[in-house]
Amino acid sequence: MAYQRPFVRVQKLHEYTGHKAPVFGLCSDKQGNFFSASGDGLIAKWDSQSLSDAKALFQAFVPFYTVNLLNNFILACGASNGIIYFYHLKNQNFIKSVQAHEKSIFQILPISQDVFLSIGGDGVLNLWDTISLTIQKKIAISHQSLRTIFYDPQQKRLFIGASDSKIRAFELHDVNLLLLKEWKAHEPSVFSLIGTPQYPYLISAGRDASIRVWNSHNFELIYEIPAHIQTINHLQLSPDASYLLSVSMDKLIKLWDIHHDFRLIKVIDKNRNDSHTASVNHVLWLDYNDSIISCSDDKKIIQWAIDINPQDKE
């Protein structure tokens, strides 16, 4: 039987403004708040339920490229100068800053309550202790930038994508890495990695504007999708891991059906949806209110209601 796309309804809920430069990073907590990192050096807090204006948490004099939440109360904010700034949300105070990398920090990833990782333009992976906020080990991975990481807790495997076009797969034991395989994945850079819980899929995207799906056990290529016309900046799964979002320098947000061979089922753009007017850098899918949050070089953050009904066909 021929594939019929599910009915997808997208509604623009709110446009958050206030940043004075491109917005590069987003993360969220469990209470309906989300946080943004911008080239203006500002880390801001927003309420996705009341649609309130930003609360500025703190500001540095360098661009922030990434932000993530550690144990739901500490913000770790990665800057272009290689410093991670830590902010305590409950106490509402700045904790400390650590010179973590020699170049820009591109991702911070908690992998347990006790451990988080950071990567940057220096090609180094740092393993951190979450309690003391100190680096436990530095591991040189590449001579070029490390752009993205994904951790599979079931396999205890760590996947790293770099600007040398490669993905590297490791087994992670405490603070020790065992290289399993490295392979060329995207030319010239891998920008985003994510895995799916119901399939052995490792999904990658990069500067070549393609999405590739790999077997996370044997690393063989399963799907290759010419997804966008410019660099794909970020990938995000739906809360039930049935759908995939991709965002790109081509200003588009695209939605893909994972259960049906990654078929394209929706495009969110400026003409039809009053979407972003510049590169879309990051996207969140919030599991508590069926909405997505996107941010862009146009300095805006947009919240979208998204309703997918597989029973209704377009």
Give how far Cα 206 sits from Cα of 40, 151, 185, 203, Å.
Answer: 25, 18, 8, 11
Residue 7: burial class (beta carbons within 10 Å; 0-12, 13-18, 19+): middle
- Cα–Cα distance, 64 to 38 (Å, whole number): 5
What pLDDT score does 52 carry? 72
> Would residue 253 count as lying in a domain?
yes
| Other CB atoms within 10 A of residue 71 CB | 12
- Cα–Cα distance, 307 to 288 (Å, whole number): 13
What pLDDT score does 49 carry? 84
What pLDDT score does 311 carry? 65
Residue 64: both structure tokens together: 């922030």
> Would residue 164 count as lying in a domain?
yes
What CATH number has the domain bearing residue 227?
2.130.10.10
> Would residue 161 count as lying in a domain?
yes
What pLDDT score does 51 carry? 74
> Would residue 68 count as lying in a domain?
yes
Given the structure tokens 């204006």, which residue do they identify?
53
Beta strands in 60-112 (DSSP E): 64-70, 74-79, 83-88, 93-99, 105-110
> Would residue 243 count as lying in a domain?
yes
What pLDDT score does 68 carry? 98
* Buried-state track 251-271, b at ≥16 Cβ within 10 A, e below 16: bbbbbbbbeeebeebbebeee
Peptide bond into 188 cis (omega under 30): yes
Given the structure tokens 């290689």, which residue do they identify?
82
What pLDDT score does 310 carry? 65
List the pLDDT tens digit at each of the 314 positions of the chain: 577 788 999 999 999 999 999 999 999 998 889 999 999 999 999 998 887 778 999 999 899 999 999 999 999 999 999 999 999 999 999 999 999 999 999 999 999 999 999 999 999 999 999 999 999 999 999 999 999 999 999 999 999 999 999 999 999 998 899 999 999 999 999 999 999 999 999 999 999 999 999 999 999 999 999 999 999 999 999 999 999 999 999 999 999 999 999 999 999 999 999 999 999 999 999 977 789 999 999 999 999 999 998 665 54
- Cα–Cα distance, 13 to 288 (Å, whole number): 15
Return the H-helix or E-strand segment holding 272.
Answer: helix 270-273
- Measured in degrees and rounded to the nearest 5, phi and psi for residue 260 equal -125, 60
> Would residue 1 count as lying in a domain?
no
Q: What is the DSSP string of 173-218?
A: ETTEEEEEEEEE-SSS-EEEEEE-SSS-EEEEEETTSEEEEEETTT
> Would residue 207 count as lying in a domain?
yes
- State the total domains in the chain: 1
CB distance 295 to 23 below 8 Å: yes
CB distance 166 to 185 below 8 Å: yes
> Would residue 59 count as lying in a domain?
yes
CB distance 128 to 117 below 8 Å: yes
* Domain encompassing residue 124: 6-313
- Nearest in space to 27 (alpha carbons), one of 299, 309, 293, 314: 293
The pTM for the full model equals 0.95
